[in-house]
Structure 1
Amino acid sequence: MQVRIVAGTANRALAAAVAASLEKVPVVPEVERFPDGELRPAVTGLRGADVYVIQPTGPPVGDNLMELLLLCDACRRSGAARITALVPYFGYARQDRRTRPGEPVGVRVVADALVSAGAERIVVVDPHTVEFEAVCGVPVETLTAIPLLADALRPAPDSVVVAPDLGAVPIAERYAKLLSRPVAVVRKTRLSGASVLAGEVVGDVAGRPVIVVDDMISTGGTIEAAVEAVVAQGAAREIVVTATHGLFTGEAVDRLARLGLRQLVVTDTLAQRDTPRLPLEVCSVAPLLAEAVRRLHRDEHRDDLLIRA
């Protein structure tokens, strides 16, 4: 059974890099876009193959998600022996629970749709919710880019790893262990999708450089609030920020530029554009994804690639 890498349009550069690491030529589907916005992908030459569809579902989330679903169905109808949805950034992962009556559990809806479309396994990188696998009806491989990002950081002596909210504490603890640094936590209240109010800082940051870590940066509101909170507590103005997924939506670039960051590190789970106003460094997860594909195809252990509590 031959490995085939199918490249969705959301991040074809990443798909090409994964294929190159595996010494494969990526399958590039034809994706027709109708005037009313409908998508119609077409893919051939997959009969009997072990297929990996690479398509992050970042902005525009609806279009990229629909393309992923249609690609999985197209692969199934083309005779693929096995289909794995390799979704480096999984949109809707933040909707993992209801916060008020009448809301959906979006991550479960999307996961079920992927299974219905033909995905027999899902591979994600640092999903927003640690319960991601529990809501999926097929096996899930939750890879982590944290060791890769930690290696790329250049922390100043006496730096403190800062979790910008309580949800990021497990992430901060993993960075702190790799970097041999202490942890501080900012208590956060979200006012809206783009507005955040930071509260007290738990931990000693006075006079010390900080490394603010999270799984994703969307509008930059959480990072901005955390930086302002630690600076108000006397933290040094040597600020490093890192996250696996850099969405940089809305006013994110403006917000982050105002903070005077020394280093900002993300991965290429989402396609990144040139942003000269930010000290942005992009680490590729292509080797990580390629190694995961290689081991999945051979049915080898993957423990060292996965998130562990």
Structure 2
Amino acid sequence: MELTILSGGANLPLGEALARALGRPLGRVHLERFPDGEQYVEIQEDVRGRNVCLVQPTVPPVGENLLELLLMADACWRAGAARLMAVVPYFGYARQDRRPNPGAALGGKLVVELLERGRFERMVAVHLHTPSLEGCFGMPLEHLDPAHLLAEAARPHAGPGAVVVSPDLGAVKLAERYARQLGLPLAIVHKSRTSGSEVSVRGLVGEVEGLRPIIVDDMISTAGTIAATAETVLKAGCAPDITVVTTHALLVGPAVERLHQVPIRRLISTDSVPLTRALPFQHQVVSLAPLLADAICRVTSERR
């Protein structure tokens, strides 16, 4: 069955790169916003009887990009598409996988249920913030981890005298994978969150004095955690050559200024989130297109 690749407006460059990796043209989608703010979506390809892959990370503004994905899915279904697959390189609301208090909404589960109403047969996601969210999916989920690609991108900065640093206990398993692949020691920062964008550091386990830190995390939002970690290892005497590696570089609010003030030397991230501004430090981007293309090929070949 023929495969059609369509991309929403959240990260068109990644959609184009994925289409190239699959050796197919990117299908035409007309996106428009009416004066009252309503979104209009029109699929300008013949998708009848075809497998359709919709590429749309739910990056900020999360609600609008999520709705655009659902509108594209509805348009494809009404146009006769045989199967729909959602490729969501960054999954918004993944941090809302549990209720911190009885009055809170379970945002992650609700977003999954909305996607299931979009009639997707399968979903491809990259490095969900909380793996437990996988249990919320009623549809098959291809959960991809680009850590091995990012670790190789960091290898030129990981020679003798480097150390992998986990910015909190939640990232320890991820940091251990980087440390094993790069053959480096591991240090762990203990932090507590005081608000949505502020953290406080309680301690540091491991040796960083005189070493070049490679701080790893799955995502950077306002960079409060990364900035606090960088300040901690600098106070502990690390070398002033800090590399930060992350899958999802959201860099919202004061993130760029915080990272610039620490300062970090370089950032390595994937292209799950489009870069919308110039950065005052080195930024190396690792494309997800080959990883996504391989997953899509495996899934579609299983159906033949």
Using structure 1 for the length normalisation, give the TM-score.
0.94
Q: Give me the whole-angstrom Cα distance separating, in 2, the residues matched to 1:196 and 1:174.
A: 25
- Contact 1:186-1:226 at 8 Å conserved across structures: yes
- Contact 1:47-1:79 at 8 Å conserved across structures: yes
Q: Give me the whole-angstrom Cα distance separating, in 2, the residues matched to 1:121 and 1:163.
A: 32
State the secondary structure of the residue aligned to 1:73.
helix
What amino acid does structure 1 have at the position aligned with 2:136? V
1:9-48 alignment to 2 at 5 Å? Answer: 9-43=9-43, 44-48=45-49
Q: Which runs of 5+ in 2 are unaligned?
A: none
Q: Tell me which residue corresponds to 1:159.
A: 162
- Contact 2:161-2:210 at 8 Å conserved across structures: no
Deviations 1:177-202 (A, max 9, x none): 11111211111111111111112011
Q: Tell me which residue corresponds to 1:279.
A: 282
- Contact 1:8-1:28 at 8 Å conserved across structures: no
Q: Give me the whole-angstrom Cα distance separating, in 2, the residues matched to 1:30 and 1:87.
A: 19
Q: Give me the whole-angstrom Cα distance separating, in 1, the residues matched to 2:202 and 2:140.
A: 39
**1:283 Cα shift?**
1.1
Q: Give me the whole-angstrom Cα distance separating, in 2, the residues matched to 1:110 and 1:236.
A: 43
State the secondary structure of the residue aligned to 1:9.
coil
Deviations 1:158-185 (A, max 9, x none): 3111110111111101111111112111
Establish whether residue 111 from structure 1 lines up as the match of residue 112 from structure 2.
yes
Q: Tell me which residue corresponds to 2:130.
A: 129
Q: Give me the whole-angstrom Cα distance separating, in 2, the residues matched to 1:206 and 1:150.
A: 22
* Corresponding residue to 1:249 among 237, 252, 268: 252
Deviations 1:4-52 (A, max 9, x none): 1111110111111111111111113111211121112111411111111
**1:156 Cα shift?**
4.1
Deviations 1:196-216 (A, max 9, x none): 111201112122111100001
Q: What percent of counterpart residues are identical?
A: 47
Q: Give me the whole-angstrom Cα distance separating, in 2, the residues matched to 1:231 and 1:72.
A: 48
* Corresponding residue to 1:207 among 203, 210, 218: 210
Root-mean-square deviation (Å): 1.3
**1:67 Cα shift?**
0.5
Q: Tell me which residue corresponds to 2:86.
A: 85
State the secondary structure of the residue aligned to 2:11.
helix
Q: Tell me which residue corresponds to 1:307.
A: none
Establish whether residue 261 from structure 1 lines up as the match of residue 269 from structure 2.
no
Q: Give me the whole-angstrom Cα distance separating, in 1, the residues matched to 2:281 and 2:79.
A: 44
What amino acid does structure 2 have at the position aligned with 1:204? E
Q: Tell me which residue corresponds to 1:304.
A: none
What amino acid does structure 2 have at the position aligned with 1:109? L
Establish whether residue 52 from structure 1 lines up as the match of residue 53 from structure 2.
yes
Q: Give me the whole-angstrom Cα distance separating, in 1, the residues matched to 2:275 and 2:72.
A: 23
Establish whether residue 95 from structure 1 lines up as the match of residue 96 from structure 2.
yes
Deviations 1:238-285 (A, max 9, x none): 211010011110111111111232221011011113424121111111
Moved over 4 A (4+): none
Q: Give me the whole-angstrom Cα distance separating, in 1, the residues matched to 2:129 and 2:139.
A: 18
State the secondary structure of the residue aligned to 1:272.
coil
* Corresponding residue to 2:236 among 222, 233, 251: 233
Q: Which runs of 5+ in 1 are unaligned?
A: 301-309
Moved more, 225-234 or 90-99: 225-234
Moved more, 232-241 or 16-25: 232-241
Establish whether residue 290 from structure 1 lines up as the match of residue 293 from structure 2.
yes
Q: Give me the whole-angstrom Cα distance separating, in 1, the residues matched to 2:82 and 2:285.
A: 34
Q: Give me the whole-angstrom Cα distance separating, in 1, the residues matched to 2:203 and 2:86.
A: 40
Q: Tell me which residue corresponds to 1:305.
A: none
Q: Tell me which residue corresponds to 1:222.
A: 225
Q: Give me the whole-angstrom Cα distance separating, in 2, the residues matched to 1:226 and 1:297.
A: 42
Q: Give me the whole-angstrom Cα distance separating, in 1, the residues matched to 2:279 and 2:251.
A: 13
- Contact 2:265-2:281 at 8 Å conserved across structures: no
**1:147 Cα shift?**
1.1
Q: Tell me which residue corresponds to 2:172.
A: 169
Establish whether residue 67 from structure 1 lines up as the match of residue 68 from structure 2.
yes
Q: Give me the whole-angstrom Cα distance separating, in 2, the residues matched to 1:163 and 1:100.
A: 27
Q: How many residues align?
A: 300
* Corresponding residue to 1:179 among 166, 170, 182: 182
Q: Give me the whole-angstrom Cα distance separating, in 1, the residues matched to 2:63 and 2:184.
A: 39
- Contact 1:90-1:127 at 8 Å conserved across structures: yes
What amino acid does structure 1 have at the position aligned with 2:34? F
